[in-house]
Amino acid sequence: MDLRELDTMGGFFALRTSGDAPGGGAEGVPLAEVYAGDTGPLTRRVDLVAARHTPPERRVAASIAQLGLAARLWSVALGAAAFHGRLPDLDPARLRWSPEGTTPDDLWLDLADGPRTLPATAEALRAQVQDAHLAPLAEALRRDTPVSRRLLRGNAGSALASAVRQIDAWSRDTGRGDVAERAAALAALLFRHPDLSGTVHGPGMRRNSCCLYYRAPRGGLCGDCVFDRPPGRGGA
């Protein structure tokens, strides 16, 4: 599997490996360490987002940070599954993350013990992304910042829906309708699971919660926001 082929779908789908990552993959921290209790890198990431967006509450920055990482994880996994029919093993011990990095150099996969892939099934996707990453990421983030689990769950569903939409747009441009069909079918199964059920609705996969981005001074509503207009700045 050549992960570099996913670059054509957009930066969120790109996954560097230890050979072509900055510093040869020596930088960054394995996400397993973050989930196990080393929340320093996660705190730095939220600090950076807070400095960039200057929201009135830290939970807004925490939400934006989590949504960005969730989008990266779902895009990499779903993109590979739909394009290659396999997905890379995203073991948190092998997947390194730079909290100061920008897409696509924020993530890279350590292949020191060789590449490993898994079948492109909804069960494998759920285990690789939701179970191995997003669930422990939510708990790690909540150790840094009080933010509701419902909001973070909504972000996870929104990130998956965004990946589906981007793959669909890429497929129309490249004539690869088969890739879009596989992505949509896998996502439909993922959204039926209790982990993500009810996070989005309708053919456009509009989310049923808000990521709070509108509360940042220069923020607004995301394209899939539950709101039709920003609520009063005093409300959440």
pLDDT tens profile 38-86: 999 999 999 999 999 999 999 999 999 999 999 999 999 999 999 999 9
Unique residue bearing structure tokens 């929201």: 55
* β-pairing verdict for 86-88 and 117-119: antiparallel
Q: What is the pTM of this model?
A: 0.93
- Model confidence pLDDT, tens digit, residues 15-31: 988 766 555 445 789 99
CA 57 centroid distance within chain: 22
| 104 or 135, greater pLDDT | 135
Question: Residue type for 28, please?
Answer: G
Show the tokens assigned to 207.
Answer: 């989310």
Task: Report helix, strand or coil for 140.
Answer: helix
Looking at residue 129, the DSSP 8-state letter turns out to be I
- Model confidence pLDDT, tens digit, residues 151-161: 999 999 999 99
C-alpha 46/C-alpha 111 separation (Å) is: 28
Q: Is 24 exposed, middle or buried (0-12, 13-18, 19+ CB in 10 A)?
A: exposed
Residue 55, phi-psi category: left (phi > 0), alpha (psi -120 to 50), beta (remainder): beta
Above 80 in pLDDT, residue 192?
A: yes
Looking at residue 25, the DSSP 8-state letter turns out to be G
Show the tokens assigned to 211.
Answer: 């990521």
Show the tokens assigned to 98.
Answer: 């730079």
Radius of gyration of the chain (CA): 17
